[in-house]
Amino acid sequence: MIYLQLFLSFLQIGAFSFGGGYAAMPLIQNQVVTLHGWLTLAEFTDLVTISQMTPGPIAINAATFVGTRIAGTPGALAATAGCVLPSCILVTLLARIYLKYRNLSVIQSVLTSLRPGVVALIGAAGVSILVTAFWGAGAAAIHISTMNLRAAAVFAGALVLLMRFKMNPILVMVLCGVTETACQLVMGLWR
């Protein structure tokens, strides 16, 4: 019975958490803490921390964590399947509709008109990440004097390695991490 409860709870979360993982957190808290009492509020805070530290979407990580905590590996499988199932159904339906109607001129014009918007959204997210990396999350004003020069130098170096030398992006990410760690060690020794 607990497996069905886990599945149905995370099925609701997967079906109604539009807007990504952070939008799902109130739904997860309602199901896990308030309705079922599977975790305390302090444990839910730990859940959020663990979900952010591990790779993958936050909602799926949360489902796996809660399922494991409540009913072991079968519980993790039930909760994760419930969380993923609505997205799988929706994407499958959209793919079938697209394959059936992709040659219609109306569909092509809608997709053509959406492409610049998607590029703009991706660009805005990139700019937001750069501003946060260079000036911090709570930057009131963006000015060259308050810029994190080390972050800017690592970014510029990564850009050169990627664009000029065509290095593997994974290797560049590892090099950036090593560079940042070395810089922090050196700065820690000087203090």
Convert the pLDDT of each residue in 54-107 to its tens digit.
Answer: 888 889 999 999 999 999 999 999 999 999 999 999 999 999 998 999 889 998
Same domain, 110 and 94: no
Residue found under tokens 């530290």: 53
Same domain, 94 and 179: no
Same domain, 10 and 96: yes
Same domain, 81 and 154: no
Residues in Cβ contact with 70 at an 8 Å cutoff, skipping those fewer than 6 apart:
2, 6, 38, 79
Given this model, what pLDDT does residue 58 score? 86
Q: State the number of CA atoms in the 13 A half-sphere of 182 facing the CB.
A: 7
Same domain, 22 and 92: yes
Same domain, 30 and 120: no
> How many structural domains are present in the chain?
3
Handedness of CA 38, 58, 85, 11 (dihedral sign): positive
At 132-161, the pLDDT tens digits run 888 887 767 788 888 889 989 999 999 999
Per the CB < 8 A criterion, the answer to whether 32 and 47 are in contact is yes
Same domain, 95 and 119: no
Same domain, 89 and 114: no
Residues in Cβ contact with 60 at an 8 Å cutoff, skipping those fewer than 6 apart:
80, 83, 84
Same domain, 46 and 78: yes
What is the pTM assigned to this prediction?
A: 0.60
Same domain, 121 and 157: no
pLDDT grade, residue 10 (50/70/90)?
Answer: very high
Same domain, 18 and 89: yes
Same domain, 53 and 25: yes
Summarize the confidence of residues 166-179 as an average pLDDT: 93
- Give the range of the structural domain holding residue 175, as residue numbers without chain letter: 148-191
Q: Which of 70, 55, 67, 71 is nearest to 21 (CA)?
A: 55
Given this model, what pLDDT does residue 189 score? 80
